[in-house]
Amino acid sequence: MSTVRCRIAPSPSGFLHIGTAKMALFNWLFARSQGGTFLLRLEDTDADRTEEEFVQAMCDGFKWLGIDWDEGPPFGDEPEKGDFGPYRQSQRRDMHHNEGMRLMAEGRAYPCFCTKEELDADRALADAEKRPFRYSRKCRDLTPDEIAAKGDTPFVLRFRVPDGETVVEDLVQGPVTFNNKEFDDFIILKPNGDPIFHLAVVVDDGLMRITHVLRGDDHLTNTPRHIMLFNALGYPLPQFAHLPMVLDEAGKKFSKRMHGANVLDWRDEGYLPETLINYVVMLGWTSEEEGREFFTLEELKHLFNINRLNKSAARFDRKKLDWLNGQHIRMLTPENLRDRLLPILAAKGIDTSGKSPEWLTKMAAICQEKIPTLNNIIDYVDFFFNDVDAYDPKAENKYFRQPDSKAWMEADIRMMSAAEDWTHDALKAAFEAEVEATGVKLGSLVNAARLALTGKPVGPGLFELAELMGKETVLARMNRALEYMKTLS
């Protein structure tokens, strides 16, 4: 087993965002490609924003995508697993507090008794003098006697930022150097003893022995603080990789308010999880095979290479996502596709209980090359389960209201009635023989018949759907269509 240990640490304050899914995916793929360990940790210390329904929504999103975890908290119907728990940050408060107090005991942090009013006054002065606000460090060098004299006065704990520079040796961005003068002596513990994010995340990563932190590049400016804390606490420093955020089609950050920001929006629209995994990985990673865009999950586990991560942001491209979804649908076995389609049909009130598994598999197979999303199946098969009571107006004008329309339908009925072998191949041969004998266009015969059987101008291939529909139903619908055509002026 590799020593690589990666994590995703979302805040359960909403749905699983597409950007969070991207970071989870990259950490997960890196761990899997290295035979390492992938952890899930919930940063749920913000009690006002954390709801258990959001915890469940995140669990549903990860599980739909197929991103599993080796260590993590009780999550949805998953039990806690792993030896470095608890894996909910809210349950680790004592660890954070103790490590903060250790830093104070070692002189790497100090109590700050400055009041909000004092800090607001300093901030107002900085604004008036048109300079950035910096904490004055007035409490930095208080003596033990001065601290003792404060008694029970509330205080925050500030980290004592060292002099010099901090270099982030980033696996994506390259070396990034920060002058420590840019950073205040930042707060690590609140007056009530609760940790600030910077301390909590470093303590958790350190005690959980995280070796690699792959996260959004919006965290890059936080990383110097984290490196200082890692060093002060004596933890091994993980390697960092900061990745561009997901941009929408307009080139802006993918807003939480946008449809599609929630990973489960794509599930509800009939996209496959395999598709979203394939697409999202290309929003920040490039294969060594130039131009390749289609990947299965198993292939990605073996092909993923951290050295191929991209530094520049990529825009979300709906057309490419749609194309990929079609490709992944074609890759499914008919049985697998059938099983994914049945819940969608049931949700739309279509009762499939009267059909055998074999029939339903054939139904899925004849639509497999046609549907761009799973949800499109409704328009491609509803006529198998419901009678046709209306015809598409444009198609009706084109195939039912032409001078030769009745002749096309009569020919269709004659051929179908004479068919002894009710199979795709036999029906196709009969239509081709009619075309050869009469010179009528195949499209006229086929499209008129499809409209009669389905009420629609597009759908599965005529011969495939006719075979599945059965001879009796086919002839009944064609004769009904012919009678309808006779009523048209």
| Per-residue CA distances from 404 to 345, 407, 444, 487 (Å) | 37, 5, 9, 15
In 29-135, the DSSP E strands lie at 37-40, 109-112
Q: What is the C-alpha separation between 305 and 285, in angstroms, rounded?
A: 8
Q: Is the pLDDT of residue 19 over 70?
A: yes
Q: What is the pLDDT of residue 131?
A: 87
- Any idea which residues carry the catalytic annotation? 256
Write out pLDDT tens, residues 411-464.
999 999 999 899 999 999 999 999 999 999 999 999 999 999 999 999 999 999
Write out pLDDT tens, residues 196-233.
999 999 999 999 999 999 999 999 999 999 999 999 99
Q: What is the C-alpha separation between 431 and 419, in angstroms, rounded?
A: 11
Beta pairing class for 109-112 and 156-159? antiparallel
Write out pLDDT tens, residues 148-205.
999 999 999 999 999 999 999 999 999 999 999 999 999 999 999 999 999 999 999 9
- The residue ranking higher by pLDDT, 183 or 253, is 183
- Examine domains 5-87+246-308 and 90-243 and report if their fold is the same: yes
As a whole number, mean pLDDT of residues 45-54 equals 72
CATH number of the domain located at residue range(s) 90-243 in this protein = 3.40.50.620
Q: Hey, what are 174's tokens?
A: 């390259």
Write out pLDDT tens, residues 369-387.
999 999 999 999 999 999 9
User: Is the domain 332-385 a CATH 1.10.8 member?
Assistant: yes
Residue 335 φ/ψ, nearest 5 degrees:
-65, -40
Q: What is the C-alpha separation between 321 and 327, in angstroms, rounded?
A: 10
As a whole number, mean pLDDT of residues 6-16 equals 89
User: Which CATH code, of 1.10.10.350, 3.20.20.70, 3.30.870.10, 3.10.150.10, is assigned to 393-486?
Assistant: 1.10.10.350
Whole-structure pTM value: 0.89
**Confidence label for 47 from pLDDT (cuts 50, 70 and 90):** low
Cβ atoms of residues 107 and 147 within 8 Å: no
Q: Is the pLDDT of residue 50 over 70?
A: no
The domain locations on the chain are 5-87+246-308, 90-243, 332-385, 393-486
* Mean model confidence pLDDT for the chain: 93
Q: What is the C-alpha separation between 483 and 70, in angstroms, rounded?
A: 65
Q: What is the C-alpha separation between 334 and 457, in angstroms, rounded?
A: 24
Architecture of domain 5-87+246-308: 3-Layer(aba) Sandwich (3.40)
Cβ atoms of residues 405 and 399 within 8 Å: yes
Q: CB atoms < 10 A from the CB of 254, how many? A: 20
Q: What is the pLDDT of residue 52?
A: 80
Q: What is the DSSP string of 205-232?
A: HHHTT--EEEEEGGGGGGHHHHHHHHHH
First-last CA distance in the chain: 78
Q: What is the C-alpha separation between 68 and 21, in angstroms, rounded?
A: 12
Q: What is the identity of the amino acid at 288?
A: E
Q: Is the pLDDT of residue 49 over 70?
A: no
